[in-house]
Amino acid sequence: MRKVDPEKHEERRQQILQAAARCFARDGFRGASISEICAEAGMSAGHLYHYFPNKEAIVSAMTEGGLARAAEHFEQMMQSPDPIRAFIAESTKTKRGLIKESLVFDVLAEAGRNTELADILRRHTLALRALLADFLRKAQVQGRIDAELDAEMTAAILMAIIDGARTMLIRDPKLGKGDSADYLELLVTRFLASQDSGQSV
Amino acid sequence: MRKVDPEKHEERRQQILQAAARCFARDGFRGASISEICAEAGMSAGHLYHYFPNKEAIVSAMTEGGLARAAEHFEQMMQSPDPIRAFIAESTKTKRGLIKESLVFDVLAEAGRNTELADILRRHTLALRALLADFLRKAQVQGRIDAELDAEMTAAILMAIIDGARTMLIRDPKLGKGDSADYLELLVTRFLASQDSGQSV
């Protein structure tokens, strides 16, 4: 029996994830076939199935990578002098990483007709929301944002805003990116602001 | 030469749009083929091509229908005692009409790889944004919302929030719909509120 070299194994895994990301970007989640991903990764189907049983498992592995990066970013943002401003700047930035914007919308569209993908999306959403809610609770303790807001619901709303920021520039690529970032900042700042003047808004 | 009966023509056109909407919901924009749409509509390809040259033309016709309905809704909302509250209620409601949520995300995903679809999406976005900006300008004149906000950019942000509200319930179907609607209302209300106290938020 051959020994598995963990480093080599991880390298192959990443090679497949990167090849799949290119195929999904080109042909969509549904359009990209396992055989196309194999060709892109330069390996046989038998070899690829050793790493991932199907396309859903590939997307799931991508979301895990995204979550690990998000957790790092939240740690860094909490260290910054103005965590909320850092969060807004981070959220409106073009994403690096394997999950391209088109894949996000592919998965959102497919979730209604693919229960396995819907489960992966829900688990990822809940994990990311928990990180964000924790971040918001710390900001509430520091008096940076409205302490009356429910952290979980507020996190869900902020994730909706991040999704909306993505659709905004796809819907109208000519929209000034600077202007739209300024308005997104205004939106989030007004939403989160402490209501200490007591006025009803 | 046969005379074209306009009523019959429109009836057939609607029949195709409804069949296509079912096919897109089932198999996605890319997955649904013209021959599948023909079978669903119970007509030959030659007959269907007489109405629509391709799937993009079908989506374009669907967006025109959506825009006509949106224009009607804006008219109605302006008549209501609190147009902004009426807008929020309308925006968080499940949509009727031919464009299902999954198609919105299909089109957002495909826009990056299909320039014809990207153009249709951009034209639709600009037309809808113009209606919404006009609605906001009237609300500014009436002193209902912050007069300092740029109506076009604010309309773009509100459309992003509507997209985000759609993704929120796909990402987590167990999220309380009532709670999320309350928080969306809080978000929009705080964003649009007149900043008449002069405090910086």
pLDDT in tens, A10-68: 999 999 999 999 999 999 999 999 999 999 999 999 999 999 999 999 999 999 988 99
AA letter at A6: P
Copy the structure tokens of residue A189. 């700042």
The distance from CA A15 to its chain's CA centroid, rounded to whole angstroms, is: 20
Q: How many C-beta neighbours within 10 Å does residue B31 have?
A: 16
For residue B66, the distance in angstroms to the closest alpha carbon of chain A comes to 16
Q: Which of B11-15, B72-76, B191-195 holds the top average pLDDT?
A: B11-15
At CA B167, angle to CA B162 and CA B169, rounded to 5? 105
Give the A window 102-141 contacts with B, CB below 8 Å: 102-106, 108-113, 118, 121-122, 125-126, 129
When computed from its CA atoms, the radius of gyration of chain B, rounded to whole angstroms, is: 20
For residue B160, the distance in angstroms to the closest alpha carbon of chain A comes to 4
Topology (CATH level 3) of domain A55-192: Tetracycline Repressor; domain 2 (1.10.357)
Task: Provide the 3-class DSSP secondary structure of residue B145.
Answer: coil
Give the A window 140-169 contacts with B, CB below 8 Å: 150, 153-154, 156-157, 159-165, 167-168
In chain B, how many H helices and how many E strands? Answer: 9, 0
**Does B184 sit within 8 Å of A126, measured CB to CB?**
no
Is the Cα dihedral B34, B38, B41, B43 positive or negative? positive
Please check whether residue A33 touches B, CB under 8 A: no
- B29-76: pLDDT as tens digits: 999 999 999 999 999 999 999 999 999 999 999 999 889 988 998 989
Give A-chain residues touching B168 at CB under 8 angstroms: 156-157, 159-160, 163
Mutate to test the interface with A, among B108, B183, B191 (most CBs of A within 10 A): B108
**Does B184 sit within 8 Å of A201, measured CB to CB?**
no
Q: How many C-beta neighbours within 10 Å does residue A31 have?
A: 16
**CA–CA separation, B183 and B181 (whole Å):** 5
**CA–CA separation, A105 and A163 (whole Å):** 9
pLDDT for B199 beyond 50: no
CATH H-level superfamily of A1-53 = Homeodomain-like (1.10.10.60)
Cβ neighbours of residue A81 closer than 8 Å, sequence gap 6 or more: none
**Does A105 sit within 8 Å of B105, measured CB to CB?**
yes
Of chain A, the end-to-end C-alpha distance in Å amounts to: 69
User: Per-residue confidence at A95, pLDDT binned at 50, 70, 90?
Assistant: low
Contact present, A105 and B113 (Cβ < 8 Å)? no
**Does B190 sit within 8 Å of A171, measured CB to CB?**
no
Copy the structure tokens of residue A107. 């998965």
Residue A26, sorted as left (phi over 0), alpha (psi -120 to 50) or beta, turns out to be alpha
B193 → closest Cβ in A30, A165, A201:
A201
pLDDT for B179 beyond 70: yes
**CA–CA separation, B130 and B159 (whole Å):** 11
Q: Tell me what ipTM this predicted complex has.
A: 0.90
Q: Of B19, B54, B56, B59, which is closest to residue B37 (Cα–Cα)?
A: B19
Please check whether residue B14 touches A, CB under 8 A: no
Domain edges within chain A = 1-53, 55-192
Mean pLDDT score of chain B, rounded to an integer?
89
The secondary structure element, H or E, covering residue B162 is helix B151-171
Please check whether residue A25 touches B, CB under 8 A: yes
Is the Cα dihedral B40, B44, B49, B51 positive or negative? negative
Task: Answer yes or no: same fold for B1-53 and B55-192.
Answer: no
The distance from CA B17 to its chain's CA centroid, rounded to whole angstroms, is: 16
B26 → closest Cβ in A113, A191, A201:
A113
Contact present, A168 and B156 (Cβ < 8 Å)? yes
Exposure string (b/e) for A134-172, b if CB count within 10 Å is 16 or more?
ebbbebbeeebbbeebebbbbbbbbbbbbbbbbbbbbbb
Contact present, B28 and B117 (Cβ < 8 Å)? no
**Does A156 sit within 8 Å of B108, measured CB to CB?**
no
**What is the structure's pLDDT at A200?**
43
- A103-142: pLDDT as tens digits: 999 999 999 899 999 999 999 999 999 999 999 999 999 9
Copy the structure tokens of residue A155. 């996190």
Percent of chain B clearing pLDDT 90 (strictly above): 68
Cβ neighbours of residue A173 closer than 8 Å, sequence gap 6 or more: B118, B122
**CA–CA separation, B37 and A90 (whole Å):** 43
B43-52, B141-150, B168-177: segment of lowest average pLDDT: B168-177
Is the Cα dihedral A46, A48, A51, A52 positive or negative? negative
